[in-house]
Amino acid sequence: MAVSYNKLWKLMIDKKLSKTDLTHMAGISTNAMAKLGRDEDVRVNILEKLCSALDCKFDDIVEILPDKQSE
């Protein structure tokens, strides 16, 4: 399964937040933010911090995509 954080980026645009702003607000590392930018897996506690800072739920910032299977 693949992970997409496109919902997070849209929410940040709506709230007029930069990655730096959110990194400070949520208290996460720049490495964690970089992983999010590459749609890589991050620990659940990172997602919890983001949701707390943005006052949202997991499904507001992350989407699980099915793997593409070759035929």
pLDDT above 90 covers a percentage of the chain that reads 87
2-65 — its CATH code? 1.10.260.40
* Residue 67 pLDDT: 78
Domain ranges of the chain: 2-65
Radius of gyration of the chain measured on its C-alpha atoms: 12
DSSP annotation string for 28-56: --HHHHHHHHTT----HHHHHHHHHHHT-
Please state the pTM of the whole predicted model: 0.87
Q: At a CB cut-off of 8 Å and minimum separation 6, what does 29 contact?
A: 23
Q: Is the pLDDT of residue 71 over 60?
A: no
Query: Residue range 49-61: average pLDDT?
Result: 96
